[in-house]
Amino acid sequence: MEKIIDPNSWDFGCKVAEIIKVSSNGLSGHDLGVLVKRAGDEFADKIRNVKIADDQIPVHVIAMGSTEGYGPNRNGDGFKEASLKDYHKTFVKYAKHYRHHKNKDPKISYGQVKTSVYNDKMRRVELLIALNKDKEAADKYGGFVADQELETLNKGKDLAVSMACKIAYDVCSGCGNKARTRAEYCGTDDCGYGGCKNNLTKVADDGHVLHVDNPHPTFFDISTVIRPADRIAYGNVADYLQKAASGEVQGGAALAEAWGVVAPLAVRLESIHDTTTALQVKLAYQLAAIEDGLAEGLTERDNNLARAFSPEVQGPVDLTPLGTPGSVKLASGLRALAGQKVVLPVRDFISLVMGDGGEKSASVANQVQGLLPGVYNRLIASGNLEDGICNNPYQAQQGLAPASQRNWAEKLSGAHSLDADHIRRRVELSAIRNLTAPNLLQNSVTKQAEASGEAEKLARCYAFYKLAFLADQQDNVQLTSDLLVRQNYIC
């Protein structure tokens, strides 16, 4: 689960961010006294030996307070002191300074997190950030000039920032329920304090403030935002005002979903110890990146490639040699198909899943096809990627498939293989027959909140099937990945 955390959702009694003034002689004298007054001598002492280049501007940021010292924040998220002491260093390991949580590429950052400190006296996490002062700094350290940030800070204004973190689960402060996603939050019937699903920050008769604790957080982003995160995490102003008027509190997980914040691959892999799962997670990020590229617009090449996946060229697949989902026969059949680089089109996959090759499955397949653009971005954002990979019933078995299934798969290769030669022949065949190229879908569905229901479940099921297929491929993986994604945009 990803979360957005706003430092201003605690009351620290001062600005969240301020420039640290350092003379040519280093941090001393009046400058040192100003910092000590703001942050205390503990932080000042710990950063005394941190080197900041002349082309970087040092900024002190108060990131978050511990639950023991400040209570939960106004979004219902709390961080216990022990967790912050153990995990604040992940800021340095993974985070850079971005804008608006666009953190997929470090090359579009604006500064570095030089060090992080848990301030025992203040009971909070504090950061030393080095912002890029000019173009030379941006070229040297990567990213862009932090001109907007520095202008704001030099005017004596507070810099609106928020941070992103990933957790395996959070814990209800009232009943102890562990939730890996917001869908698993406790409700009124489960929790004596009303449940985190609808009652975050509610004050009970005994004075308890309902919130979720965030153990084992990995912080991977600190971003400048136009205004505090919870003010812009809705489709429009009217949506926010309606929710605010109703008293509904949006927790950090809801804010991250609204922003589309996703943890970087390195953060995700840190908690995965199974090599098969790790490989498929890497591939999911690879396919999501291809989706991002297609979001910028489909090309003439995409139109030509679409011909290779035209139903008129491919024809239906005889599914008889495949068993039912979860059976050994299906696993061996998928092994035979993978050996020929054959991927079932979505219409045939839905027939297999539903056990029906008639109009009903055809109708469902049409709905599912419309949800395939952006499906890997949604899988990554769902919080269920690893579980889906582990529980995928459409993974090929290890070893050699029976000869009958291998022969069947080989016969299908001409019409369905992703092998480059077969793709080229099908494109040529479509042109020779003067067939109309299939229509291409736009990459319009990308956010978790925008897709739900049975059709979306089947779309994700198909996406997991393709992930398992791709993990079996040994050569031309990049080309195969490209074709796998583009196949999802054809209707």
Answering whether pTM is above 0.85, one says no
Residue 449's pLDDT is what?
41
Among 57-66, 235-244, 316-325, 373-382, the minimum mean pLDDT is found in 235-244
Kindly report, residue by residue over 149-197, the tens digit of the pLDDT.
999 999 999 999 999 999 999 999 999 999 999 999 999 999 999 999 9
Report the chain's mean pLDDT, rounded to a whole number: 88
Kindly report, residue by residue over 342-352, the tens digit of the pLDDT.
999 999 999 99
- Classify residue 491 by burial, with Cβ atoms within 10 Å: 0-12, 13-18, 19+: middle
Higher-confidence position of 24 and 37: 37
Provide, rounded to the nearest whole percent, the portion of the chain with pLDDT above 70.
91
Flag whether pLDDT at 205 surpasses 90: yes
Residue 228's pLDDT is what?
52
Residue 207: band (very low, low, confident or very high) from pLDDT cuts 50, 70, 90: very high
Flag whether pLDDT at 35 surpasses 90: no
**Beta carbons within 8 Å of 450's beta carbon, 6+ residues apart:** none
Q: Give CA separation, 246 vs 232, 239, 448, in Å.
A: 17, 11, 24
Question: Residue 106 corresponds to which amino acid?
Answer: P
Higher-confidence position of 154 and 235: 154
Residue 23: band (very low, low, confident or very high) from pLDDT cuts 50, 70, 90: low
Provide, rounded to the nearest whole percent, the portion of the chain with pLDDT above 90.
69
Residue 392's pLDDT is what?
94
Determine the average pLDDT of the residues in 474-485: 90
Residue 64: band (very low, low, confident or very high) from pLDDT cuts 50, 70, 90: very high
- Classify residue 319 by burial, with Cβ atoms within 10 Å: 0-12, 13-18, 19+: middle
Kindly report, residue by residue over 77-124, the tens digit of the pLDDT.
999 999 999 999 999 999 999 999 998 888 899 999 999 999 999 999
Residue 448's pLDDT is what?
42
Kindly report, residue by residue over 328-345, the tens digit of the pLDDT.
999 999 999 999 999 999
Flag whether pLDDT at 38 surpasses 50: yes
Higher-confidence position of 126 and 236: 126
**DSSP β-bridge partners for residue 62:** 126
Higher-confidence position of 481 and 325: 481
Residue 356's pLDDT is what?
79
Residue 31's pLDDT is what?
65
Among 17-26, 140-149, 385-394, the minimum mean pLDDT is found in 17-26
- Classify residue 82 by burial, with Cβ atoms within 10 Å: 0-12, 13-18, 19+: exposed
Residue 47's pLDDT is what?
77
